[in-house]
Chains A and B, each alone.
Chain A
Amino acid sequence: MEIEKIKFERTGGFAGIRLAAEIELDDLPEDERRELLRLLDELDFEELPEKLARHAPVPDEFSYTISVIAKDKKEYTVSAGDAALPADMRPLLEMLESIAKRQMRKHKQDD
């Protein structure tokens, strides 16, 4: 799969403040882009079920939704709750979270 962009959303949490980003792969620094692709590949992202680790919502946990959009416009979406997140998903989420935070700050500076 050739990936065009990734949509990332984090909702809930004690503060209830949404964190979201649309990440264009071409806009990322080369090493970051390569690492992101490696993580997605390692997870077999397009084969993952749409809802990971179904469980009753945990008070104040984060909920994540990640959509990977391929160049052919096919979209693969996975959502997961923080508390029961499979361990092998963490590196990907942490990376997307930090890119999203960086984008939020950058948008502010651009204003």
Chain B
Amino acid sequence: MHEHNHPMNCIVPPHMLETIAANGTPAQRDMAVQTLVASAEMRGRRLALSEYLAAAMRQAAPGGKSRLIYDAKTGVSLPGTLVRQEGDAPTADAAVNEAYDGSGATYDLYKEVYNRDSIDGSGMQLKSTVHYRKGYDNAFWNGEQMVYGDGDEDLPEKDRLFNRFTISIDIIGHELTHGVTQFEAKLVYSYQPGALNESMSDVFGSLVKQRVRNQTAAQADWIIGEGLFTPNVNGVGIRSMKAPGTAYNDPILGKDPQPGHMKDYVNTTSDNGGVHINSGIPNRAFYVTAMELGGYAWEKAGQIWYVTLRDKLTANSQFQDCANLTYLTAGELFGKGSLEQLAVKKGWADVGITVDDGTTPPPPPPEPGGGCLESFLRLIGAAPAKTR
């Protein structure tokens, strides 16, 4: 499996890049200008050095958006027959086109907003298989690719509960984000780390949908899997990030079991320790944070969650860790005591988790001074390598 790490997490502030842009060699200027443009797109936010690093590596290696859509033709073999690849015109098959467009929109969110080149951060091809098995009510990430079933298409219409799983774009963003998590925090898929893994997938799945629809946090419905149920089901979708536990209530499928507060945390061994159940708690923490901040949720709240997933969370992180680390990240990105940091605190408080805001302060972040600038210049080949 491909692995990468983040050699440095120091921050290069825009003013430093401006200095490089003004005074560097042509190659350095190029790099700095590009970076400034990218960060201007992110509304002047400071970016972690690892992202500039990733950008620098991308220039050397071919990468970019590369989607491959396969058809399993109701069989179990993966990936199946290649039916559409990057740049190909749409086909007559809705599932193929949805997988193509949805993985494209997910790629774009990660690339354009978080400056991440695909699942692994270095241009990994996005593979999707549609029409997997017959009557298959599911979608999953198998460690290498996304897989989508057609729901209950094998049943008479009156008996169908699920539509095809590509129908809802946030499901595609959800599955792809499982890939991102696999390369980054590597959250274990059980109990609280598993529920955080699930929640990250819902968060970025929802952000893909919100961005495609150009919706602010207040305009978004915060429903995961909208349109997946047929009209035979009493429900608006699979999960509600805004009001966990309210997405469906149906005589056949039962009631949405998600809690939205720690007091309702579900202790179970089923579903890998309730990973699809207790994810309601961090989902709502994200929703409240995003609503506090207003505007487009992918910008500030999404950035905080993304950097936390990439740089802070580890395999066994618990909800409390995620609360502390999103708070820490918000402080690093936007400043201690900033509105952004307070919004994160409020988001977790709403679900019954009190952020540990550092009576024992974490180690100070690396000085964004000469040391950091020097390493940055060295990395883009503008300063001599360190000699002993």
Partner-B contacts on A (CB < 8 A): 11-18, 56-63, 82-83, 87, 90, 94, 97-98, 104-105, 107-108, 111
Contacts and interface: CB of A to CB of B under 8 A. Distances in A.
B159 interface: yes
Q: Is the interface of B mostly helix, strand, loop or mixed?
A: loop
A58 B175 contact: no
A98 B253 CA distance: 15
Contacts of A59: 140-141, 175, 178, 189, 197-198, 201
B252 interface: yes
B138 A60 contact: yes
- In this complex, the interface size class of chain B, counting residues with CB under 8 Å from chain A, is 35 or more
B142 A58 contact: yes
Contacts of A11: 270-271
A39 to B, nearest CB: 17
B137 interface: yes
Contacts of B228: 15
A98 B254 contact: no
Nearest to B143: A58
A58 B276 contact: no
A13 B138 contact: yes
Interface centre among A16, A59, A90 (most CB of B within 10 A): A59
Among A18, A56, A58, residue most surrounded by chain B Cβ atoms (within 10 Å): A58
A61 B142 CA distance: 8
B42 interface: no
B271 A83 contact: no
A78 to B, nearest CB: 17
A80 to B, nearest CB: 14
Contact of A14 (B171, B253, B254, B270): B171
A107 to B, nearest CB: 8
B10 interface: no
13 contacts: A11-B270, A13-B276, A14-B175, A15-B162, A15-B225, A57-B189, A57-B272, A60-B139, A60-B140, A62-B138, A87-B76, A94-B134, A108-B251
A50 to B, nearest CB: 15
Nearest to B134: A94
B300 interface: no
B225 A57 contact: no
Q: Would you list the 7 A-B pairs with minimal beta carbon distance, nearest first? A: A16-B276, A60-B140, A59-B178, A57-B189, A13-B138, A108-B251, A11-B271
Interface string B262-288: 000000001110011100000000000
A111 B251 contact: yes
B376 interface: no
Nearest to B273: A57
A91 B386 CA distance: 63
B138 A56 contact: no
Given A14-B238, A15-B137, A17-B254, A60 B271 contact: no
A99 to B, nearest CB: 13
Contacts of A105: 159, 252
Contacts of B175: 14, 59-60
Nearest to B269: A11
Nearest to A62: B138
Contacts of B178: 59-60
Interface in B107-140: 134-135, 137-140
A111 to B, nearest CB: 7
B164 interface: no
Nearest to A83: B142
Interface in B267-315: 270-272, 275-277
B190 A14 contact: no
B276 A12 contact: yes
A98 B271 contact: no
B174 A14 contact: yes
B163 to A, nearest CB: 12
B204 interface: no
Nearest to B258: A16
